[in-house]
Amino acid sequence: MSRLLIFALACLLPFAAQAGNVYKYTDRNGVTVYTNIKPRGVAKMKIIRVYCPACDVTSTVDWTATGLNIEAFKDEIRKRAAEEGVDEALVRAVIHAESAFNPRALSPAGAQGLMQLIPSTAAIYKVQNSYDAGENIRGGVRHLRMLIDLFDGDLKLVTAGYNAGENAVLRWGGVPPYDETQVYVQRVAILHQRYRQELGLDAPKTTDGPALAANAP
């Protein structure tokens, strides 16, 4: 039987942390545990360095001027975006905000890889290895497609749902009042517009109206 994953981080770690240590070990029942608290009485453990740009609500980065990356994973992003009818610039904006194009990124909540897939989301889209760039992009873009359909292309709600979960958006009837999510929505909107301009696409709507989901022909 495959090992279970318990992401205690989801409850224990503050979302504001951009970097820190996570301890990974296997308990007596064969369950893999991730925690930010150093476990006692555990002889064998692995220390994982957390890197999560999207988690840092106090970031001093100027998102209107920071360098863009239109080359990394270009073929895979373009392929998956075209398959799902999702704006390539939106995919790049999400990757930039989530992991800064680091395929080994790990968030305090246990989200992994370029598009920061949590294990339950990865399972929905049959992503076996979230640290594999191709698999991660495939799953992340499919998840964006689902959110675009669910929220009728409203970019604010789509990105809020990507960060906080679609149920939180539905529960609050809009962007949830979480600091991380509020900052994330603004950050992705800025990056989305900049990536569209960099890629030579029309600027998207960033207000409450429907957002451009797919690249124009």
Catalytic positions are 98
Query: Can you give the three-state secondary structure of 114-161, one letter per residue?
Result: CCCECHHHHHHCCCCCCCCHHHHHHHHHHHHHHHHHHCCCEHHHHHHH
In angstroms, rounded to a whole number, what is the distance separating the alpha carbons of residues 141 and 6?
A: 25
The one-character DSSP state at 35 is E
**Does residue 189 sit in helix, strand or coil?**
helix
Contact between 110 and 170 under an 8 Å Cβ cutoff? The reply is: no
**Does residue 10 sit in helix, strand or coil?**
helix
Q: What does the longest C-alpha to C-alpha distance in the chain come to?
A: 60
Question: In the chain, what is the straight-line distance between the N-terminal and C-terminal CA atoms, in Å?
Answer: 47
> Residue 184: which of 127, 119, 111 has the closest Cα?
111
Q: Which helix (H) or strand (E) holds 12?
A: helix 9-12
Please list, residue by residue across 1-36, b when 16 or more beta carbons sit within 10 angstroms of its beta carbon and e when fewer do. eeeeeebebeeebebeebeeebbeeeeeeeeebbbb
